[in-house]
Structure 1
Amino acid sequence: MRLLITLLVNGLLVYLAAAILPGIAIDGYFNAIIVALLLGIANFLVRPVLFLLTLPITILTLGLFLFFVNGAMVLLVDSLLSSFTVDGWFWAIAFSIIMSVFNLFFENKEAK
């Protein structure tokens, strides 16, 4: 049940982030839930491999390259869904930052 609630809330956060950023478009709340699910799967399966492959450049840039790794996850989901469009790397990185901030506030409220 907790997983379902988390998925629904993350879908809402995806929908809000797409509403805030002009370079992101989504066709509705149901598609936002699918985007949240696919982002979770991509972050669970693909991101660790990509993190290990880019570890030297991540260390060299003091962790700033992780913004590009997160943006790559958003662009991966963009390539999988036609109902979710991202206009480029800048918007993908901005979307991942907005989602991180939203999730940070949500997790703090949930812990109390």
Structure 2
Amino acid sequence: MKNFLLTWLGTAVALLVTAHIVPGFEVKSFVAALLAVAVIGLVNAFVRPILGFLAFPITLLTFGLFTLVLNAFLLWLASILTPRDYFVIDGPLAAFLGSIVLSIVSSVINYILRGIEE
């Protein structure tokens, strides 16, 4: 449970950092980031496996690069499902860049949190 909470908080911080780096990617507050991360987690849990299965042929043909497009789409979908006042992505380029930056920043933050936890 402790690992889950630390990962959730770390990813919320990563979402805020991403919002400061990527233009067109907006998160209103830390509470909004916590809610957005919960929605992103739900989208990844329920929609990602279906889309991953359906997109497998094109992912195979592009040597996995289509996964970047899939990540951007899922992040954009999560922004639509989150209340509009909290988490907004203004376009496909912001979603694409945001998904790349978010994955890098959250990996670094979660790595640091794992080191502190031990």
Aligned 8 A contact 2:14 2:109 in 1: no
TM-score, L = length of structure 2: 0.87
* Runs (5+) with no aligned partner, structure 2: none
TM-score, L = length of structure 1: 0.91
Give the drift of 1:56.
0.5
> What is aligned with 2:74?
73
Within the alignment, does 1:32 sit opposite 2:45 as a pair? Answer: no
Paired letter, 1:93: F
Paired letter, 2:45: F
> What is aligned with 2:101?
98
State the Cα RMSD in Å: 1.5
> What is aligned with 2:15?
14
CA 1:42 to 1:98, structure 2 compared with 1: closer, same or farther past 3 Å? same
Aligned 8 A contact 2:11 2:110 in 1: no
Give the drift of 1:106.
2.8
Paired letter, 1:34: L
Give the drift of 1:37.
1.1
Q: Which ranges of 4 or more aligned residues in structure 1 deviate by more than 4 Å?
A: none
* Runs (5+) with no aligned partner, structure 1: none
SS at match of 2:65: coil
SS at match of 2:95: helix
Q: Which has the higher contact order (CA 8 A, sep 6+)?
A: 2
Instruction: Give identity over the alignment, percent.
Output: 29
Aligned 8 A contact 2:39 2:78 in 1: yes
| CA distance, structure 1, for counterparts of residue 4 and residue 66 of structure 2 | 30
Within the alignment, does 1:52 sit opposite 2:72 as a pair? Answer: no
Aligned 8 A contact 2:22 2:98 in 1: yes
